[in-house]
C-alpha cells in the first residue's frame, strides 16, 4: 500500500504517520513545504520511524501552486491520500483571511486536482468541528447539519470541504470527509491550550480560562488525542462510504477549567487561574463546540482508554521532553 499525507510534518500528520507505520506495511510519502507548522523533528523522534526510516520519504511542494506534470510524475499514484495540510491558527486567519483562503481552499483544490488527474484509491479530507460554529448547550451537530462558520479559518475549511465533495460528485473522485474536534497530543505547538497550560502550571504561572461574558462558565470541547484521530482516520478509509462525512469526537465533554485542573493534578502542582471573557476580546473564538459521534460508533468504531489517562500520559511525556514547550514561531 502507498499512502500520501499532506502536512505530514505537522502535529496531527505525524501521529497519522506513526499509526500507519505501526499498524500496516504501507510506504508513506510526506508532502510538506516545511515553512511554519511543518517540523520534521516530529517524525524523526518517532520510534516507528527510527525502526523503519526507509518506509517514509519527504517530498517538498507548496500546495498553493498547481502540480506540474514533472511533480505529478515524481509523486506517482497512491492507494490513499490524506489531506491534512492547512492553516489552523484562528488568530492568523482573522488577521489575514486571504491567507486562510489560499492555504485551505486554493491548496485543497490543487491537491484534489492532482488526485483527479493521476487517480487514487481513496481521498480523505480533514475538516473541523468549527465549520458548524458555536454549539448551544445540549446541541451536538451531525455530519450534514448546516454550517455557520464563526471565523475565516472555519469558513476556509468549509470551502475546502465542499470542494472535496464537489470533486466526488463531478469527477467521481473517491472522497471521504472528517470533522475532527479539538486534538491534543505529543509535539503540539506550545501556544495551544494544553501544552501552554502544562508549561504555566510547571512554572507556577497563571492560566487564563476561556469563559462566557460573566466569567463564570468556562468554554468546553470534546478533546481527543491525536492517536485516536489517526485510528479513526484509518477506520474511515477502510470502512467509510465514499462521498460521506464522519465526525471524529472525543469520548466526553470537558470544559477548559476541568481540563486545566486535570493537567495541574497530573503535573503535581496547584492551578493558578483566571476566568476571562475571550469572545469579547478575541472575536471569532466560540465558547462551545460539540459534534455527534454516533455515526462512527454505529459502524463499530471505539476510542479505547479514557481521556483523563490520555491527559496524564501526555503531561508526563511533555515534562520529560521539555524542548517541545520552547517558544517557536506561531503556526
CA-CA distances (angstroms) from residue 202 to 73, 270, 273?
Answer: 50, 9, 13
CA-CA distances (angstroms) from residue 111 to 4, 131, 150, 169, 251?
Answer: 11, 21, 26, 16, 32
β strands within 171-244, DSSP E = 175-180, 183-184, 207-211, 220-221, 224-225
CB 84 within 8 A of CB 108: no
Look-up: residue for cell 510506504? 27
Q: Give CA–CA dist 296/300, Å, rounded.
A: 7
DSSP letters, 51-73, are H-GGGEEEEE--TTSPPPHHHHH
Q: Which residues are known catalytic residues?
A: 129-130, 153
Amino acid at each position: 500500500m502507498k499512502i500520501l499525507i499532506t502536512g505530514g510534518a505537522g502535529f496531527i500528520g505525524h501521529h497519522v504517520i506513526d499509526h500507519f507505520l505501526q499498524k500496516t506495511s504501507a510506504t508513506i510519502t510526506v508532502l510538506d513545504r516545511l515553512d511554519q507548522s511543518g517540523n520534521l523533528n516530529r517524525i524523526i523522534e518517532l520510534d516507528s520511524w527510527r525502526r523503519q526510516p526507509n518506509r517514509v520519504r519527504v517530498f517538498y511542494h507548496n500546495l498553493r501552486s498547481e502540480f506540474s506534470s514533472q511533480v505529478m510524475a515524481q509523486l506517482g499514484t497512491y492507494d490513499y491520500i490524506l489531506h491534512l495540510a492547512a492553516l489552523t491558527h484562528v488568530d492568523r486567519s482573522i488577521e489575514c483571511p486571504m491567507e486562510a483562503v489560499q492555504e485551505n481552499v486554493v491548496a485543497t483544490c490543487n491537491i484534489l486536482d492532482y488526485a483527479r488527474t493521476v487517480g487514487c484509491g481513496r481521498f480523505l479530507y480533514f475538516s473541523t468541528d468549527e465549520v458548524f460554529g458555536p454549539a448551544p448547550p445540549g446541541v451536538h451537530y451531525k455530519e450534514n447539519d448546516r454550517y455557520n462558520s464563526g471565523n475565516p479559518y472555519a469558513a476556509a475549511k468549509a470551502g475546502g470541504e465542499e470542494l472535496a465533495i464537489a470533486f466526488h460528485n463531478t469527477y467521481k473522485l473517491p472522497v471521504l470527509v472528517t470533522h475532527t474536534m479539538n486534538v491534543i497530543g505529543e509535539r503540539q505547538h506550545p501556544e495551544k491550550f494544553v501544552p501552554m497550560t502544562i508549561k504555566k502550571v510547571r512554572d507556577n504561572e497563571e492560566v487564563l480560562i476561556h469563559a462566557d461574558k460573566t466569567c463564570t462558565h468556562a468554554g468546553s470541547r470534546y478533546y481527543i488525542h491525536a492517536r485516536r484521530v489517526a485510528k479513526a482516520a484509518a477506520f474511515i478509509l477502510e470502512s467509510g462510504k465514499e462521498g460521506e462525512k464522519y465526525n471524529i469526537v472525543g469520548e466526553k465533554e470537558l470544559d477548559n477549567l476541568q481540563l486545566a485542573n486535570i493537567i495541574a493534578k497530573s503535573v503535581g502542582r496547584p492551578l493558578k487561574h483566571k476566568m476571562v471573557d475571550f469572545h469579547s476580546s478575541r472575536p471569532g473564538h466560540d465558547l462551545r463546540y460539540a459534534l455527534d459521534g454516533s455515526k462512527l460508533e454505529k459502524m463499530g468504531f471505539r476510542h479505547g482508554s479514557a481521556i483523563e489517562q490520555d491527559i496524564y500520559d501526555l503531561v508526563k511525556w511533555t515534562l520529560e521532553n521539555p524542548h517541545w514547550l520552547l517558544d517557536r514561531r506561531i503556526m
